[in-house]
Amino acid sequence: MTQQQLKQQAAQAAIDLIVPQLKPEMVLGVGTGSTVDLFIDLLAEHKGRFKAAVSSSERSTARMQGLGVAVTTLDELAEPMPFYVDGADEIDTQLRMIKGGGGALTREKIVASAARQFVCIVDATKLVERLGAFPLPVEVIPMARAIVARRLQEIGGHVLERAGFLTDNGCVILDVAGLNMLEPEQLEATINDIPGVVTCGLFALSAADVALVAHADGVRRLSRDA
Ligand SMILES: O=C(CO)[C@H](O)[C@H](O)COP(=O)(O)O
């Protein structure tokens, strides 16, 4: 089975989880990436059964609007959304993640924080014993790129600015390899505390609640409280 087919299965599993719970007034949080693109395509088939989605990127907004899914903003929410659905670049068994391969990490963290349940959809190649093989994306205010890069080097990182890329927030991404991720929560807090960092792609303090992991023999559901 190809990675694309596994992504499709993970996306379908999220649909199977969420669609039976849809209500006309419900707003859903939607992430960013190739797995989420597949989820959006499936979700659009049910667009009459929920009110709208809050998007974590211009890319997902355009895809949803193109398929006729109403997109709203966090400002319009009266209460937390029941679900936020997103992919990941890596996820461990405690459902801590590295995200931001697509550069949408900050809006992803914001929209996820407005939902009761983070449902992570991944193919099995993303499931790891220990986070850190994937370089950690860090979103940085452009004027701070050099001093932030130095601070990241001081804590052991090998830093590469993502060439020719600006986030939806007009910021740059530093991709940082070689960091010690034995304590991801501590590392997330340390990096987020560097002046000039908008946020880093570690989602350890804000891990997923449920992961739907597509393996060749089927989708396995992991829960944080299991
Ligand atoms: O964090 C993300 C984007 O910022 C994505 O969730 C992550 O990069 C996974 O993407 P894909 O589903 O394309 O593998």
Beta strands, E only, 22-110: 27-30, 52-55, 71-72, 81-86, 90-91, 97-98
Q: Is the CB of 184 under 6 A from ligand 1?
A: no
**Same domain as 118, residue 57:** yes
For residue 173, what is the domain's CATH number?
3.30.70.260
Is position 10 within any domain?
yes
**Same domain as 165, residue 61:** no
The DSSP annotation for 122-163 comes to EEGGGB-SSS-SSPEEEEE-GGGHHHHHHHHHHTT-EEEE-T
Do residues 221 and 214 touch, judged by C-beta distance below 8 A?
no
Is position 59 within any domain?
yes
Q: Is the CB of 88 under 6 A from ligand 1?
A: yes
**Same domain as 187, residue 81:** no
Distance between CA 108 and CA 99 in Å, rounded? 9
Best residue among 36, 166, 169 to mutate for probing ligand 1, ranked by most atoms within 8 Å of CB:
36
**Same domain as 140, residue 192:** yes
Q: Identify the pLDDT of residue 15.
A: 98
Is position 222 within any domain?
no
**Same domain as 153, residue 104:** no
Tell me: the pLDDT tens digits for 128-145? Answer: 999 999 999 999 999 999
Is position 223 within any domain?
no
pLDDT mean across residues, the chain: 97
Tell me: the pLDDT tens digits for 75-120? Answer: 999 999 999 999 999 999 999 999 999 999 999 999 999 999 999 9
**Same domain as 86, residue 150:** no
For residue 22, what is the domain's CATH number?
3.40.50.1360
116: phi then psi, degrees, rounded to nearest 5: -75, -35
Q: Identify the pLDDT of residue 210.
A: 98
Is position 224 within any domain?
no
**Same domain as 210, residue 111:** yes
pTM over 0.90: yes
In terms of residue numbers, what domain contains 26? Answer: 3-128+205-216
pLDDT exceeds 80 at position 225:
no
**Same domain as 64, residue 77:** yes
Q: Is the CB of 104 under 6 A from ligand 1?
A: yes
Tell me: the pLDDT tens digits for 45-86? Answer: 999 999 999 999 999 999 999 999 999 999 999 999 999 999
161 is catalytic: no
Q: Identify the pLDDT of residue 224.
A: 87
**Same domain as 169, residue 111:** no
Q: Is the CB of 135 under 6 A from ligand 1?
A: no
pLDDT exceeds 90 at position 121:
yes
**Same domain as 158, residue 111:** no
pLDDT exceeds 80 at position 13:
yes
Is position 225 within any domain?
no
Q: Identify the pLDDT of residue 226.
A: 63
**Same domain as 98, residue 155:** no
Is position 81 within any domain?
yes
ipTM metric: 0.98
**Same domain as 147, residue 119:** no
Domain count, the chain: 2
b/e code 138-156 from CB counts within 10 Å (16+ = b): bbbeeebbeebbebbeeee
Measured from the CA of 104, which atom of ligand 1 is nearest?
Answer: 4
Best residue among 30, 34, 109 to mutate for probing ligand 1, ranked by most atoms within 8 Å of CB:
34
Q: Identify the pLDDT of residue 148.
A: 98
Do residues 95 and 222 touch, judged by C-beta distance below 8 A?
yes
Q: Identify the pLDDT of residue 125.
A: 98
Which is it for the CA torsion 42, 18, 116, 93, positive or negative?
Answer: negative
Q: Identify the pLDDT of residue 43.
A: 98
Measured from the CA of 86, which atom of ligand 1 is nearest?
Answer: 6
DSSP 76: G
